[in-house]
Amino acid sequence: MIVTKTATLRDKYLTRGKILELQSLENFLLSVERRAYRIAVVSLLHREDALDAVQEAMTQLVARYRDKNWEEWRPLFYRILHSKIIDAHRKRKLQQRFSGWLGSGRDHGENDDIEDPLQNAAGPEHLAPEPRRQNAEAVAKLDVAIQRLPVRQQQAFMLRCWEGLSTRETACAMRCSEGSVKTHYSRAIHSLRSVLGDYYE
């Protein structure tokens, strides 16, 4: 009888622990999903691909890393997300090559889901039309400039500047040394400044 009661209490405790863990995970995912989607869409220029990449990153974090310390979730999540983004790029290249061989002529770039940076970067509703338009233009210019960066510089910029990860966390997410992160990041800033310098300073 005592053993059964202990087992029941233990199960209750574990269940409660699991519920708390899930709530904590849910809060974390809620806190990153918008940014993750924006990052993915800037990289992939495709709404569905971006949503898929974000979902896969969330799923993998929940399935494999829920037991990790919560402080590790952020760099882990972005590591997985960037890995999914690169997978999506590779898949797209393969599909384009395959389509080319078959001569179907269907280009992924002609898909209706392609993000128009100007369209989706509309400013906040509370702004008057003109400031909103200017804001949208600023976002669009920035998106285009980021897209033109080499992949590693893009990653370093997004993680360091946009997300605000430390150099160490960014190195963990990018699976490289802190020195490499600093190099990629400084080159990214230099490129962006040369394109956007007058606009943002």
Partner 1 sequence: MSEFERSMRQTLRASEQTLDNATLAELSERRRQALSAPSKRRLPIFLAPAIGMAAAAVLALLVINPFTPTDNNVTQDDYLTGNIELYEELDFYSWLAYEERSVEG
Catalog residues that contact partner 1 under the rule CB under 8 A: 22, 25-26, 29-30, 33-35, 37-38, 47, 51, 54-55, 58-59, 61-64, 66-67, 120-124, 135, 138-139, 142, 161-162, 164, 189, 192-193, 196-197, 200-201
Nearest distance from C-beta of residue 102 to partner 1, angstroms: 31
Q: For partner 1, give the closer residue by CB, 175 or 193.
A: 193
Region of residue 70 (left: phi > 0; alpha: psi -120 to 50; beta: else): alpha
Q: Are 61 and 77 in contact (CB under 8 A)?
A: yes
CA proximity to 185, closest of 199, 34, 165: 165
For 53, half-sphere exposure in the C-beta direction (CA atoms, 13 angstrom radius) is 31
Q: For partner 1, give the closer residue by CB, 30 or 102.
A: 30
Helices (H), 47-158: 47-65, 70-102, 117-120, 129-147, 151-157
Nearest distance from C-beta of residue 67 to partner 1, angstroms: 7
Nearest distance from C-beta of residue 177 to partner 1, angstroms: 21
Nearest distance from C-beta of residue 106 to partner 1, angstroms: 24
Distance CA 179, CA 168 (A): 10
Q: For partner 1, give the closer residue by CB, 1 or 63.
A: 63
Q: For partner 1, give the closer residue by CB, 98 or 200.
A: 200
Q: For partner 1, give the closer residue by CB, 48 or 107.
A: 48
Amino acid at 81: L
CA proximity to 119, closest of 139, 148, 142, 147: 139
Nearest distance from C-beta of residue 2 to partner 1, angstroms: 30
